[in-house]
A and B are shown apart, each in its own frame.
Chain A
Amino acid sequence: MTATDRPPVPEDLEHVDNDQHPVGHGRMLRKEDPRFIRGMGHYVDDIQLPGMLHLAILRSPVAHARIVSVDTTAAQAHPKVKAVITGADLAEKGLAWMPTLSNDVQAVLATDKVRFQGQEVAFVVAEDRYAARDALELIDVDYDILPPVVDVRRALAPDAPVIRDDLEGKADNHCFDWETGDRAATDAVFEKADVVVTEDIVYPRVHPAPMETCGCVADYERVSGKLTLWTTSQAPHAHRTVYALVSGLPEHKIRVISPDIGGGFGNKVPIYPGYVCAIVASLVIGKPVKWMEDRTENLVSTGFARDYVMRGEIAATRDGKILAVRTHVLADHGAFNGTAAPIKYPAGFFGVFTGSYDLEAAYCSMTAVYTNKAPGGVAYACSFRITEAVYLIERLVDCLAYDLQVDPVDLRRRNLIRPEQFPYTTRTGWVYDSGEYERALDLALDLAGYDDLRREQEEKRARGELMGIGVAFFTEAVGAGPRKDMDILGLGMNDGSELRIHPTGKAVLRVSCMSQGQGHETTFAQIVAEELGIPPADIEVVNGDTDQTPFGLGTYGSRSTPVSGAAAALVSRKVRDKAQIIASGMLEVSVADLEWTKGAFAVKGDPTRSVTIQDIAMRAHGAGDLPDGLEGALEAQICYNPSNLTYPFGAYVCVVDVDPGTAEVKVRRFVAVDDCGTRINPMIIEGQVHGGLADGVGMALMEMISFDEDGNCIAGSLMDYLIPTALEVPHWETGHTVTPSPHHPIGAKGIGESATVGSPPAVVNAVVDALKPFGIRHADMPLTPSRVWDAMQGRPTPPI
């Protein structure tokens, strides 16, 4: 289908004219773009410091082996090499191991064994990046190869080699067990149910692969004793604290700066050995040291995502009332448990696997294991594993529809949580804040022309053509989180915000979250603009520098708007409260007699007597007395602790055509209706949705980090790990509804990961629907032509 014969679809996206940009929420062009379109973005690898050296890492070529010896003599002798450091060298300083974000430990450089292909073994520091690479070739490592654990299902076999023999008393590859819900109640419901559908569902290992790889420049200044680290970090404050704990340097002597980041998607939340190596190198050598990984290093060693092998069961009445869901999950955590999730949630927020449905019971048990693969697990815009949860339930509902021979839309409609049930407590204890699910579903069906599509499908099926229509409905849980429940390594998941109004009424907002392309400089200026009536152009947003911003846990899990956005609104209101007292002095009336209209306080009943926020700012800094007890200046600071998560939701419809001759899947249309509560900048919101949809198509159809039986990663380049280009994705069609969050100060919910969560099941449901004539109820991602072909021949197999 070409651009011209596409049916006209009402679209959200329209052009924005910044000459009329809003003072507050609304479509507004981004403040960060003028630098990016000129090539003047400032990313880590753009940093050049006088005397800067380059670091390269030697990685293990094998998945599991004992290190017999490491000979660095030849590398040391290279004329451009300044240092060669091995695990043994780090061990002398007590730095060979570091804590992970999940209270496990991970080797900075391997000392005893290598535990996955690509693991860090030694590093070289040299005068330029080419020489550093050359010297890696000169290091001689003798490995004693051990059998690897590659198949997650064999990890707990009695004869499986023990990967983590560094942990005292460890005799197997068990990582942790976890459960949620009521087992007995769920079993009882399953027992009496008319219909039970069971399906084995795999969410394969994938990788966020942002276009910019991970890296840093570490600069330790001996005289002041201060370490500055420019780094690709989505969470600069959390990183600083970990570095302080590892290195022994005090926090005030560590400055972590995240400059522009070329995409994160959760890949830039963990602390990687490379960062620590660069810091050590700069401490030892006393010069700035740059480490930038290459693409293979990024794909084989940094935080992967997903890797859940799930057995799902759904129980229902014969007429389609869903009663309960039960699942057991086998989770592959790789060689070290490096999951970046709130510490009390080892499975992230997978507990929301009951989805958007009103059930009687639910239960999940999970076993996580170590394997000889890279660590990670929580990444790639997953909202802490909600991708896996939503995929499971949305696939199960389609499987149930298949068995009951009912339309999957009717089945969903019958079971969606109704508006009057909110706030709704799920069977696993999550309190969904607000929702009007059917309204979003109706809009999506309407935009897609669902009934027409089904008619078209019927005609095509009669002709032997394979067209599929997939529907998915999702609810997310984002904005971690309430500090009573949520922390990472003991750091509460709250965000700070500081707002300072200059005498002329211009402002600077400092926030603890960190943009990786989400446009915070624009969105956060708009939040303040909405609250104070100061034009966004007059508000500078500072993020990413621990010396310049208040403490907070950063940007991932769609938490920026729910947490930092709330902080920005509340700090603005705090400033406004002070401004009101100053205004009462200026207008000589009591505070209670003032009325706020965006940007000014006026005397109630006499709008001619008013002062603008700019007048007030000047007075706050100027001569003359302020009302009794008030200090000068106009600024405030807060730390926001959310009372609950926010629960965005959406309804997606995907239309695919499968070539009966080649089994190639073409996504013809994709309609996404999202509800993220109050919309701050709809243009940016739609952009976030579009990007997530492309990711979802990628996961559903082509992306997978796979391994051969020896544990070699066979997806270590962009030739092997396929990411959608403009040819594999359709023109996105978006719509929205607005159901504000009742507890967020501006009613916003977060949007960054909705589409990544909702789109994979929509695509897979569509492909499986297309394959209905073959009697197929389920096929696992990625639905590559060969896997679809196998399914068509009656051989659907799990990918791992």
Chain B
Amino acid sequence: MQVTMTVNGETVTREIEGRMLLVHFLRDELGLTGTHWGCDTSNCGTCVTWLDGEPVKSCTVLAAMAGGREVRTVEGLEQDGVLDPVQEGFMRCHGLQCGFCTPGMLMTARALLDRDDDPDEDTIREAISGQICRCTGYTTIVRSVQWAAKAQRDAASADAEPVGSES
């Protein structure tokens, strides 16, 4: 069957088997290997992407179900060469080690900060509780998200302030 969807702002069309999972579509058909695969039972969350703005486990979505919809992956976080604050935060606060869970964690973190610009620790832990990181023990992930939240708030308040005389 043919499927057409928008991935990171680009329209893609492919001929696929109806049973193909979105995670395999992204990785094998589009070469977007930032989205990972780590389990057979929707438990690990290494595959998290966005579908129409909501984080989903792309191993649990058929590519066909994403037809006509918008998918965003880790490759779509950096905009015009500028890192998303969550990407920056994970780097600065050592929120990753092997990096395998990281893309999924980043996508969830981005979605969280879009609806809550100052989440407390419990909220962050709850948000990532469908995902497993075997390396970090999570404290630094929590910290990374908090760093990003603050960076984002600081940038927003800087934008709101009147422009200085700097030329």
Interface residues of A (CB under 8 A from B): 2-4, 13, 15-16, 29-30, 32-43, 45-46, 48, 128-130, 208-213, 260-263, 265, 294-296, 516-519, 683-684, 686-688, 690-695, 717-719, 723, 725-727, 729, 731-732
Contact = CB atoms under 8 A, between A and B. Distances in A.
14 contacts: A13-B139, A33-B99, A37-B102, A38-B74, A38-B87, A39-B32, A41-B99, A130-B20, A262-B99, A295-B44, A695-B134, A725-B131, A726-B125, A726-B138
A29 B96 CA distance: 11
Given A37-B90, A38-B34, A210 B98 contact: yes
Interface string B133-145: 1111111111100
A209 B39 CA distance: 10
B106 A37 contact: yes
B103 interface: yes
Contact of B140 (A46, A260, A690): A690
Given A2-B122, A686-B94, A727-B129, 5 more contacts: A39-B35, A130-B17, A211-B38, A517-B135, A691-B136
Given A29-B91, A726-B141, A729-B137, A260 B40 contact: no
Contact of B41 (A209, A519, A694, A718): A718
A609 B93 CA distance: 42
B94 A729 contact: no
Given A294-B40, A725-B128, A690 B136 contact: yes
B94 A38 contact: no
Interface in B21-49: 24, 27-28, 31-41, 43-44, 46
Contacts of B52: none
By DSSP majority rule, is chain B's interface helix, strand, loop, or mixed?
loop
Nearest to B24: A129
Given A38-B34, A684-B94, A717-B40, A694 B138 contact: yes
B75 A39 contact: yes
B5 interface: no
B137 A694 contact: yes
B73 to A, nearest CB: 7
B153 interface: no
B121 A2 contact: yes
Given A211-B101, A717-B41, A726-B125, A39 B34 contact: yes
Interface residues of B, number: 64
Contact of A32 (B83, B99, B136): B99
B19 A33 contact: no
Nearest to B133: A211
B89 to A, nearest CB: 9
B129 A726 contact: yes
Given A48-B28, A690-B136, A726-B125, A211 B94 contact: no
Given A3-B122, A39-B103, A731 B32 contact: no
Given A16-B92, A130-B20, A723 B40 contact: no
A732 B78 contact: no
A725 B141 CA distance: 12
B94 to A, nearest CB: 5
B98 A30 contact: no
By DSSP majority rule, is chain A's interface helix, strand, loop, or mixed?
loop
Contacts of B24: 129
B97 interface: yes
Quick one: which of A42, A683, A684, A726 has the most chain B CB within 10 A? A726
Given A39-B75, A726-B125, A732 B41 contact: no
Quick one: which of B78, B122, B126, B131 has the most chain A CB within 10 A? B122
Interface of B: 17, 19-20, 24, 27-28, 31-41, 43-44, 46, 73-75, 77-78, 83, 87, 90-94, 96-103, 106, 120-122, 124-126, 128-143, 147
Nearest to B103: A39
Contacts of A690: 136-140
B64 to A, nearest CB: 14
A690 B142 CA distance: 13
Nearest to B43: A718
Given A41-B99, A130-B20, A732 B126 contact: no
A10 to B, nearest CB: 15
B102 to A, nearest CB: 5
Nearest to A33: B91
Contacts of B38: 211-213, 262, 295
Given A260-B98, A516-B98, A726-B125, A691 B137 contact: yes
B143 to A, nearest CB: 8
Quick one: which of A2, A690, A693, A732 has the most chain B CB within 10 A? A690
A30 B134 contact: no
Given A3-B122, A295-B39, A37 B96 contact: yes
A42 B91 CA distance: 18
Nearest to A734: B139
Nearest to B20: A130
A719 B43 contact: yes
A727 B125 contact: yes
B8 to A, nearest CB: 11
Quick one: which of B100, B102, B124 has the most chain A CB within 10 A? B100
Contacts of A295: 38-41, 44
B100 A43 contact: yes
A15 B147 contact: yes
A32 B100 CA distance: 13
Contacts of B40: 294-296, 717
A263 B106 CA distance: 18
Contact of B132 (A15, A208, A261, A718): A718
Nearest to B141: A726
B140 A261 contact: no
Given A48-B28, A130-B20, A212-B100, A37 B87 contact: yes
B97 A517 contact: yes
A335 to B, nearest CB: 23
A234 to B, nearest CB: 12
Contact of A517 (B73, B74, B98, B122): B98
A212 B32 CA distance: 17
A726 B39 contact: no
Contacts of A516: 98
Contacts of B96: 33, 36-37
Given A34-B91, A130-B19, A727-B126, A211 B137 contact: no
A696 to B, nearest CB: 10
Contact of A4 (B27, B77, B90, B120): B120
A521 B7 CA distance: 32
Contact of B98 (A211, A683, A692, A725): A211
A39 B73 contact: yes
Nearest to A688: B97
